[in-house]
Amino acid sequence: MGKSRLHDMAFGKSITVDEQHLEAAAQAADATSAFERAEIEFIESLRSGSCDAFDTLINRYSADVYALLLRLTEDREEAGDLTQETFLSALKSIKTFRGEAELKTWLYRIAVNQSRNRYRWWKRRKKSST
Protein backbone atom coordinates (compact mmCIF):
# COMPACT_ATOMS: atom_id res chain seq x y z
CA MET A 1 0.00 0.00 0.00
CA GLY A 2 1.58 3.26 -1.11
CA LYS A 3 1.61 6.43 0.88
CA SER A 4 2.00 10.00 -0.29
CA ARG A 5 3.49 12.84 1.68
CA LEU A 6 1.74 16.14 1.34
CA HIS A 7 2.93 19.44 2.71
CA ASP A 8 0.25 21.50 4.42
CA MET A 9 0.78 25.05 3.19
CA ALA A 10 -1.26 26.65 5.97
CA PHE A 11 0.56 25.14 8.92
CA GLY A 12 3.88 24.12 7.37
CA LYS A 13 3.46 20.48 8.41
CA SER A 14 3.86 17.36 6.32
CA ILE A 15 1.10 14.77 6.41
CA THR A 16 1.01 11.22 5.11
CA VAL A 17 -2.00 10.07 3.09
CA ASP A 18 -2.75 6.53 1.96
CA GLU A 19 -3.23 6.20 -1.77
CA GLN A 20 -6.38 4.28 -0.87
CA HIS A 21 -7.80 7.42 0.73
CA LEU A 22 -6.83 9.50 -2.28
CA GLU A 23 -8.53 7.01 -4.59
CA ALA A 24 -11.65 7.01 -2.41
CA ALA A 25 -11.74 10.81 -2.53
CA ALA A 26 -11.39 10.76 -6.32
CA GLN A 27 -14.24 8.23 -6.60
CA ALA A 28 -16.43 10.38 -4.36
CA ALA A 29 -15.72 13.39 -6.57
CA ASP A 30 -16.62 11.35 -9.67
CA ALA A 31 -19.87 10.21 -8.04
CA THR A 32 -20.72 13.80 -7.15
CA SER A 33 -20.11 15.02 -10.68
CA ALA A 34 -22.17 12.10 -12.05
CA PHE A 35 -25.00 13.10 -9.70
CA GLU A 36 -24.72 16.72 -10.83
CA ARG A 37 -24.83 15.68 -14.51
CA ALA A 38 -27.90 13.52 -13.87
CA GLU A 39 -29.57 16.40 -12.02
CA ILE A 40 -28.86 18.79 -14.93
CA GLU A 41 -30.29 16.30 -17.43
CA PHE A 42 -33.36 15.83 -15.21
CA ILE A 43 -33.90 19.60 -14.97
CA GLU A 44 -33.58 19.92 -18.75
CA SER A 45 -36.25 17.26 -19.24
CA LEU A 46 -38.50 19.15 -16.80
CA ARG A 47 -37.90 22.37 -18.73
CA SER A 48 -38.80 20.66 -21.99
CA GLY A 49 -42.19 19.76 -20.50
CA SER A 50 -41.72 16.02 -20.04
CA CYS A 51 -44.69 14.54 -18.17
CA ASP A 52 -42.54 11.58 -17.09
CA ALA A 53 -39.97 13.94 -15.59
CA PHE A 54 -42.67 15.83 -13.72
CA ASP A 55 -44.10 12.55 -12.39
CA THR A 56 -40.58 11.64 -11.25
CA LEU A 57 -40.24 15.03 -9.56
CA ILE A 58 -43.47 14.46 -7.64
CA ASN A 59 -42.58 10.88 -6.71
CA ARG A 60 -39.08 11.87 -5.61
CA TYR A 61 -39.90 14.96 -3.54
CA SER A 62 -43.60 15.06 -2.59
CA ALA A 63 -43.18 13.22 0.72
CA ASP A 64 -40.40 15.59 1.82
CA VAL A 65 -42.33 18.68 0.73
CA TYR A 66 -45.46 17.42 2.48
CA ALA A 67 -43.52 16.73 5.70
CA LEU A 68 -42.06 20.24 5.63
CA LEU A 69 -45.47 21.81 5.08
CA LEU A 70 -47.03 19.66 7.80
CA ARG A 71 -44.42 20.95 10.25
CA LEU A 72 -45.15 24.53 9.18
CA THR A 73 -48.95 24.34 9.15
CA GLU A 74 -49.63 21.58 11.69
CA ASP A 75 -52.65 20.67 9.55
CA ARG A 76 -52.71 17.60 7.29
CA GLU A 77 -55.33 18.89 4.88
CA GLU A 78 -53.63 22.27 4.54
CA ALA A 79 -50.24 20.59 4.05
CA GLY A 80 -51.73 18.41 1.30
CA ASP A 81 -53.25 21.41 -0.49
CA LEU A 82 -50.02 23.37 -0.21
CA THR A 83 -48.01 20.41 -1.50
CA GLN A 84 -50.13 20.37 -4.64
CA GLU A 85 -49.78 24.12 -5.03
CA THR A 86 -46.01 23.84 -4.56
CA PHE A 87 -45.67 21.39 -7.44
CA LEU A 88 -48.01 23.40 -9.67
CA SER A 89 -45.92 26.49 -8.98
CA ALA A 90 -42.73 24.52 -9.69
CA LEU A 91 -44.17 23.32 -13.00
CA LYS A 92 -45.05 26.88 -14.00
CA SER A 93 -41.67 28.32 -13.05
CA ILE A 94 -39.20 25.50 -13.86
CA LYS A 95 -37.89 27.46 -16.84
CA THR A 96 -36.70 30.20 -14.47
CA PHE A 97 -34.84 27.75 -12.20
CA ARG A 98 -31.22 28.97 -12.29
CA GLY A 99 -29.63 25.91 -10.72
CA GLU A 100 -27.84 27.90 -8.02
CA ALA A 101 -29.32 25.54 -5.44
CA GLU A 102 -30.32 21.91 -5.58
CA LEU A 103 -33.76 21.15 -6.95
CA LYS A 104 -34.97 20.00 -3.53
CA THR A 105 -33.86 23.27 -1.95
CA TRP A 106 -35.71 25.21 -4.65
CA LEU A 107 -38.87 23.17 -4.03
CA TYR A 108 -38.57 23.77 -0.28
CA ARG A 109 -38.34 27.52 -0.89
CA ILE A 110 -41.48 27.40 -3.04
CA ALA A 111 -43.24 25.38 -0.32
CA VAL A 112 -42.26 27.84 2.42
CA ASN A 113 -43.46 30.75 0.27
CA GLN A 114 -46.74 28.95 -0.43
CA SER A 115 -47.20 28.43 3.31
CA ARG A 116 -46.47 32.08 4.09
CA ASN A 117 -48.85 33.27 1.41
CA ARG A 118 -51.59 31.01 2.71
CA TYR A 119 -51.02 32.23 6.28
CA ARG A 120 -51.28 35.86 5.13
CA TRP A 121 -54.45 35.03 3.20
CA TRP A 122 -56.05 33.42 6.27
CA LYS A 123 -54.98 36.36 8.43
CA ARG A 124 -56.57 38.89 6.03
CA ARG A 125 -59.70 36.80 5.73
CA LYS A 126 -60.01 36.54 9.50
CA LYS A 127 -59.58 40.33 9.88
CA SER A 128 -62.19 41.15 7.25
CA SER A 129 -64.76 38.79 8.78
CA THR A 130 -64.53 40.39 12.23
Give residue-wise pLDDT tens across range 5-14. 554 555 556 6
Helix axes 103-129, 51-73, angle to 10 degrees: 50
| 6 and 32 in a common domain | yes
Residue 101 shares a structural domain with residue 130: yes
Q: What pLDDT, on a 0 to 100 scale, did the predictor assign at position 122?
A: 85
Q: Are 105 and 57 found together in one domain?
A: yes
In 3D space, the residue among 118, 49, 44 whose CA is nearest the CA of residue 83 turns out to be 118
* Out of 18-27, 73-82, 86-95, least confident range: 18-27
Shared domain for 76 and 34, answered yes or no, is no
The pLDDT score that the predictor gives to residue 82 is: 98
Q: Dihedral of CA 19/22/28/32: which sign?
A: negative
Q: Are residues 94 and 78 in the same domain?
A: yes
The number of distinct structural domains making up the chain is 2
The domain that holds 129 is classified in CATH as: 1.10.1740.10
Residue range(s) defining the domain that contains residue 108 = 50-130
- pLDDT surpassing 90 at residue 3: no
Q: 1: which residues sit within 8 A by CB, 6+ positions away? A: 18, 19, 20
Shared domain check, 68 and 36 = no
pTM of the model: 0.71
Query: Do 33 and 70 lie in a common domain?
Result: no
- What is residue 103's predicted lDDT score, i.e. its pLDDT? 93
DSSP 48: T
pLDDT tens sequence across 94-129: 999 988 889 999 999 999 999 999 999 888 888 777
pLDDT at 23 over 90: no
Instruction: Please give the residue that has the higher pLDDT: either 20 or 130.
Output: 20
Structure confidence by residue, pLDDT tens digits, 58-76: 999 999 999 999 999 999 9
What pLDDT does residue 1 have? 47
